[in-house]
A and B are shown apart, each in its own frame.
Chain A
């Protein structure tokens, strides 16, 4: 196994430890702390949406017109349907754009 691949293994282990910390952390926290300050709770609540948005917005702006169009279509589908349907429709849209239109 070369050094670069070993780095990836370490990265996965670190990610696993970080994830386990979140799954055990609340239990530790609740036995130590009775109340979480409201502003801290609001900040913690915002974390996942804020992080995931940073993976969506730049892809939409810089990912090319075909990707942006597929994301728009998927967004409309996502207002009513599941993530799985969004993926299916988004994928169909990008395939149509790439292979039938251009």
Chain B
């Protein structure tokens, strides 16, 4: 293991860690508000390690949605990672199998973006660099979740201090981060109308599956705007 590569990774990941920290704490606090214990919240951050989908998970869990639907929604929100792992495969071909297993576990949005950029620039991707970049984000993510969860447990009525508005606003921010994508408006409008109608006529939790399916089907049916990209666009998760 090359120490200077590892340190370079730590330095590179540091600003990402700072930017993600408030979201880790926010997740911890909201998880506790949605019925998690402090240990559950920390366990989820340590094992799932995907901020947006963790928020989706606690929101649906708090609304007593069926477990299989919660897992399916987490899977759907994280689906972009399929494109990431396909795309960085060529840059980490020299990793051992165990190194690959670990590398894919740590493949969050900024990790993908940085690895891809380094690869495109022709800078070699060493495992030491990859691990340094990943750990300086991963370990504080867990610690911040713990801090947020401890804080969340001290809060009496989340509505009185406005915590209930944070999840919808956070999800709104995520949706808006996709606005440069092909056919963004028709997809979002379709899913919005379908989910509100499903909420009204069928009831929760079906608004998630019905609304999402409507937008996805529309995307499959619309004619393509431009040729497919080679490299997937990185989302700004937090």
Contacts and interface: CB of A to CB of B under 8 A. Distances in A.
Contact of A91 (B76, B84, B166, B196): B166
B219 interface: yes
Interface size class of B (residues with CB under 8 A): 35 or more
A90 B100 contact: no
Given A19-B49, A58-B207, A83 B174 contact: yes
Give 10 nearest A-B pairs by CB, closest first.
Answer: A50-B215, A26-B86, A46-B219, A26-B85, A54-B211, A83-B173, A57-B192, A16-B47, A54-B195, A90-B169
Contacts of A29: 82, 86
28 contacts: A20-B105, A22-B80, A24-B85, A25-B82, A27-B100, A27-B104, A30-B86, A39-B221, A41-B228, A44-B79, A46-B220, A48-B80, A49-B215, A50-B213, A51-B191, A52-B178, A53-B195, A54-B192, A55-B208, A56-B192, A57-B192, A67-B164, A74-B169, A83-B173, A87-B26, A90-B165, A91-B169, A95-B162
Please classify the interface of chain B as helix (H, G, I), strand (E, B), loop, or mixed, using the class held by over half of its residues. helix
A43 B85 contact: no
A54 B173 contact: no
Interface in B158-202: 159-162, 164-178, 181-184, 187-188, 190-196, 199
B77 interface: yes
Nearest to B60: A55
